[in-house]
Structure 1
Amino acid sequence: MMYSNKNYDLPQIMFGVLFISLMTIASIWVVQPFILGFAWASMVVIATWPLLIKVQALLWGRRSLAVVVMTLLLILLFVLPIALLVNSAIENGAPLVDLASDPSKLQLPALEWLHDIPMVGDKFYNGWHSLLDGGGSALMAKMQPYIGRTASWVGIQAAHLGRFIMHCALMVLFSALLYSRGEQVGMGIRHFAFRLAAERGDAAVLLAGQAIRAVALGVVVTAIVQAVLGGVGLAIAGIPYATLLTVVMFTLCVAQLGPLLVLIPAIIWLYWSGDTTWGTVLLVWSCVVGTLDNVLRPVLIRMGADLPMILILSGVIGGLLAFGMIGLFIGPVVLAVSYRLISVWVSEAPEPEKDMRDAAHGLDELK
């Protein structure tokens, strides 16, 4: 057998690889401040691309007008809630700091409504007031350092708000650019993936887009619906700072913790303050809002991609813990692409014998 004798210039290969590595590292270093904003914009554009096409059809096929409309929608959905959150934080921050600095201003309620509870109401009322008379002020004094630490933690988190606003602004800018040149960018990514792994690479890119839409529909839309409905209930029941609590509920819903972590304390506060009627109304409304995701999320996820529910939820929670908010999309995409590629690879082989005894007999023959 004849072997072709190829002469390899080892120093040339080494310096070539070194040059490519240095250029790659330098490029990543240059674009590092924009990576998070661009990744966020990519997820948003992929998830909302079908909506862009429909808007473009309604606007006489003008892509420029459709891009303007979608950009305004992004500003309405992202920039406006952040502005409301910042405004609420500024308005409510001063009373919190004042309260933390002077524990005497923390006054526990009298809970007069305990008298209305049959049989045990008077006993609870007397016990509560015995606690207040005997050590209420001492209890407040012990709680004051923890309140101060909470206020300090909030202040530290607020220091990172400028960076988050910058990424949000970059997201809107990059989204407008991707909306205008989406076909060219998508074809370039598919071409690169095809160069890496032929048909499987192209299929992986398409599957990634389906997974992003599935997460956007099943997780984000469900979180928006639950947060809005929960916020409406809080506002109608007269809960203070309903706007701020709605934003908190949206964050909890996206993190798969649910809105009840906000609604249940609000219900307790209503009963605590003696407003039992609205407390009961909010309790019933919370039962509806808290269980809505069990019905809405599976339907929306199936509309985006036919993927196992446990895979999507594992990707959402794991991605959130690993990468932060952007991990809500990165985690499910990674798991979905891996799942489909492994499924295709396994399906290329014939299925094993259904009868395990026949399979064992064949194994004995191979010995």
Structure 2
Amino acid sequence: MLTWARSFERTGLPVPEVLAHLPFGAAQAAAWWKANLSHSEAGPALLHRLDNSTLIGLSRSLGTQIVRRVVQFGFTLLALFFLFRDGRAVTAQARIASKRLFGPRGERVARQMAASVHGTVDGLVLVGLGEGFVLGIVYFATGVPHPVLLGALTGIAAMIPFGAPLVFGVAALILAAAGALVPAAIVVAAGLAVTFVADHFVRPALIGGTTRLPFLWVLLGILGGVESFGLLGLFLGPAVMAALVLLWREFVEAPGDAETGPIT
């Protein structure tokens, strides 16, 4: 370690080979490394920036975050253990509480919220992974660099509505920058076709079919949930929206009338 530090102080750090294998931005990353870390003045300049107070602050912040995450994970496991162990009792008490709070409709609201979570998981996670798998095949067929990595990124981005075009758009730009205009156009066309079918047919059938919500309301629930609760809001938002719409339908439904249709 001491030898490495002395070498870094004298000559700087050479550009690592891994930068040359990045799927995009390899030239820019290598140029930045050469300008900032590959000369003899890089070591003293970097060590001057990282003084003792900065290092102490960074170590304290990192240690605090690690301890916080470990404690949260431990409490989560502990809570899950008791929930699984006493699940039947908790369910029975929740049914009694919902009946006292909301009347006979309480259990229906709870079932609707549970169904919305299941449908959202199927519609977002499974459909997103399917989009990533299909577009990964397209990347491989059209010669996109690192198709497996970009396919995985597409699947993750596709879990969020309108997220997949960002990734396959980057893939098309990589091909276009290399002069492969026809494969780039194929990637864009295939990406638009896959996302159109997924967002307009598959997801509404999976999410709206279980929650009896139009996809517009599901989309509003997802975006509002992400804005309010972060990543967890992807699943909480549609559940809250499904409960609110169910309560609204039962509120405006006159006694003796048939159940109203979906709100459009």
Q: 1:317 to 1:344 in 2, by over 3 A?
A: same
Contact 1:212 1:332 in 2 (8 A): yes
Match of 1:254 among 134, 144, 159: 159
Please state whether the residue corresponding to 2:103 is helix, strand or coil: helix
In structure 2, C-alpha distance between the alignment counterparts of 1:330 and 1:251, rounded to whole Å: 18
Equivalent residues in 2 for 1:158-169, closer than 5 Å: none
Q: RCO (CA 8 Å, sep 6+): is it higher in 1 or 2?
A: 1
Contact 2:204 2:214 in 1 (8 A): no
Unaligned 5+ residue runs, structure 1?
1-87, 105-158, 352-367
Unaligned 5+ residue runs, structure 2?
1-17, 37-61, 258-264
Alpha-carbon shift at residue 193 of structure 1 (Å): 1.9
In structure 2, C-alpha distance between the alignment counterparts of 1:277 and 1:312, rounded to whole Å: 36
The answer for the alignment partner of 1:20 in structure 2 is none
The answer for the alignment partner of 2:225 in structure 1 is 319
In structure 1, C-alpha distance between the alignment counterparts of 2:202 and 2:256, rounded to whole Å: 37
**Of 238-247 and 163-172, the range deviating more from structure 2:** 163-172
The answer for the alignment partner of 2:34 in structure 1 is 102
**1:271 is aligned to 2:203:** no
**Of 162-171 and 285-294, the range deviating more from structure 2:** 162-171
In structure 1, C-alpha distance between the alignment counterparts of 2:180 and 2:104, rounded to whole Å: 64
**1:328 is aligned to 2:234:** yes
In structure 1, C-alpha distance between the alignment counterparts of 2:188 and 2:70, rounded to whole Å: 35
The answer for the alignment partner of 1:186 in structure 2 is 91
In structure 2, C-alpha distance between the alignment counterparts of 1:317 and 1:273, rounded to whole Å: 36
Which residue identity is paired with 1:322?
A: S
In structure 2, C-alpha distance between the alignment counterparts of 1:173 and 1:231, rounded to whole Å: 39
Q: Deviation digits for residues 181-203 of structure 1, max 9, x if unmatched?
A: 65444333223322333323222
Please state whether the residue corresponding to 1:102 is helix, strand or coil: helix
Equivalent residues in 2 for 1:23-62, closer than 5 Å: none
Percent identity between matched residues is 22
Q: 1:179 to 1:284 in 2, by over 3 A?
A: farther
Match of 2:123 among 195, 215, 218: 218
Contact 1:320 1:331 in 2 (8 A): yes
**1:196 is aligned to 2:101:** yes
In structure 1, C-alpha distance between the alignment counterparts of 2:73 and 2:149, rounded to whole Å: 19
Q: 1:244 to 1:305 in 2, by over 3 A?
A: same
In structure 2, C-alpha distance between the alignment counterparts of 1:243 and 1:169, rounded to whole Å: 34
**1:291 is aligned to 2:196:** yes
Q: 1:238 to 1:334 in 2, by over 3 A?
A: same
Alpha-carbon shift at residue 326 of structure 1 (Å): 0.3
Alpha-carbon shift at residue 313 of structure 1 (Å): 0.9
Which residue identity is paired with 1:301?
A: I
**1:345 is aligned to 2:251:** yes
The answer for the alignment partner of 2:207 in structure 1 is 301
Contact 2:226 2:234 in 1 (8 A): yes
Contact 1:226 1:290 in 2 (8 A): yes
Which is higher, the Rg of structure 1 or of structure 2?
1
Q: 1:171 to 1:198 in 2, by over 3 A?
A: same
Consecutive aligned runs of 4 or more in structure 1 exceeding 6 Å deviation: 159-177
Alpha-carbon shift at residue 178 of structure 1 (Å): 5.5
Alpha-carbon shift at residue 277 of structure 1 (Å): 5.2
In structure 1, C-alpha distance between the alignment counterparts of 2:75 and 2:202, rounded to whole Å: 31
Q: 1:192 to 1:202 in 2, by over 3 A?
A: same
Q: 1:202 to 1:290 in 2, by over 3 A?
A: closer
Contact 1:218 1:301 in 2 (8 A): yes
Q: 1:282 to 1:310 in 2, by over 3 A?
A: closer
Q: 1:261 to 1:241 in 2, by over 3 A?
A: same
The answer for the alignment partner of 1:152 in structure 2 is none
Alpha-carbon shift at residue 209 of structure 1 (Å): 0.9
The answer for the alignment partner of 1:57 in structure 2 is none
The answer for the alignment partner of 1:234 in structure 2 is 139
Contact 2:211 2:242 in 1 (8 A): no
TM-score (norm 2): 0.62
TM-score (norm 1): 0.47
Q: Deviation digits for residues 90-135 of structure 1, max 9, x if unmatched?
A: x96xx7765433369xxxxxxxxxxxxxxxxxxxxxxxxxxxxxxx
**Of 263-272 and 275-284, the range deviating more from structure 2:** 275-284
In structure 2, C-alpha distance between the alignment counterparts of 1:324 and 1:244, rounded to whole Å: 25
